[in-house]
């Protein structure tokens, strides 16, 4: 009689081993604890920290108020230079200004420009002429005019309607006439009349009408505004 016990036992062990291998391949192994990934340095990386909350917005800096504008009252300002050698007139309107500097003989200059936000005047004219001035008090303008090689400091006041700045242009006896007048508050008139560019003292005008007679012909001098 043959012995089959050991053979059957071996066969049963093989079958059991194959069954266990098949079961592991199907289900796989589950780790029993969390795996900590090492960092590049070989040390465990710390856990991720919660991001902090959004910082409160910082209040914006207060806006500085714009500087107050120093207004130059509109009107006509007339007067004489500090050395009494010439007269100056400035007409201000709509933040623009026109000025006339005249000695009544042969020196004159027309200048113009804007009234700056700080109330200053920086006017320019032909031949490099310039005038820099600013308000002084409520009714005066103080400054210096540079005409030719001369500098003329002045303080002039706002005038009444009869005083002011006048100008006339026309043709008389074939000559080109250009005249400028400053009528001062005391009635004095300072002006130059050019005939084809040649200056001479200007004849008087009627401040009420602007009428003036040049070489027997009547012209009208009109108030000057910017």
Q: How do residues 157-197 score in pLDDT, each as one tens digit?
A: 999 777 899 999 999 999 999 999 999 999 999 999 999 99
Beta bridge partners of 180: 167, 192
Element holding 113 (H helix, E strand):
strand 108-114
DSSP-derived letter for residue 64 is: P
pLDDT at 31: 45
- List of residues 6+ apart from 35 with CB closer than 8 A: none
Note the pLDDT tens digit of each residue in 175-184.
999 999 999 9
pLDDT, tens only, 76-120: 999 999 999 999 999 999 999 999 999 999 999 999 999 998 989
- Residue-averaged pLDDT of the chain: 82
Residue 179's closest CA among 169, 189, 171, 187? 169
Q: For the stretch 135-165, what's the b/e string if a residue is b when 16 or more beta carbons lie within 10 angstroms of its beta carbon?
A: beeeeebebebbbeeeebebbbebbeeebbb
- In the structure encoding, which two tokens stand for residue 220, read together? 């009208």
48-79 pLDDT, tens digit each: 454 555 555 666 655 655 555 667 889 999 99
The single residue listed with the structure tokens 């005066």 is: 140
Q: Which helix (H) or strand (E) holds 106?
A: none
């Amino acid at each position: 009689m043959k012995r089959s016990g050991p053979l059957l036992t071996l066969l049963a062990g093989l079958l059991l081993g194959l069954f266990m291998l098949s079961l592991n391949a199907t289900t796989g192994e589950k780790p029993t604890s969390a795996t900590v990934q090492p960092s590049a340095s070989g040390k465990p990386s710390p856990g991720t920290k919660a991001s902090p909350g959004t910082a409160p917005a910082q209040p914006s800096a207060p806006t500085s108020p714009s500087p107050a504008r120093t207004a130059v009252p509109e009107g006509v300002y007339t007067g004489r230079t500090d050395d009494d050698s010439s007269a100056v007139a400035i007409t201000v309107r709509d933040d623009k200004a026109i000025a006339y500097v005249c000695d009544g003989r042969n020196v004159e200059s027309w200048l113009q420009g804007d009234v700056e936000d700080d109330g200053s005047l920086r006017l320019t004219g032909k031949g490099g002429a310039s005038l820099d001035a600013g308000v002084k008090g409520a009714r005066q303008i103080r400054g210096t005019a540079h005409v030719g090689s001369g500098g003329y400091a002045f303080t002039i006041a706002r005038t009444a309607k009869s005083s002011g700045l006048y100008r006339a242009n026309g043709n008389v006896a074939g000559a080109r006439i250009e005249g400028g007048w400053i009528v001062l508050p005391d009635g004095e008139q300072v002006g130059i009349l050019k005939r084809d560019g040649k200056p001479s003292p200007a004849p008087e005008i009627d401040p009420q009408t602007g009428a003036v007679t040049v070489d027997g012909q009547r012209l009208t001098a009109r108030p000057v505004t910017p």
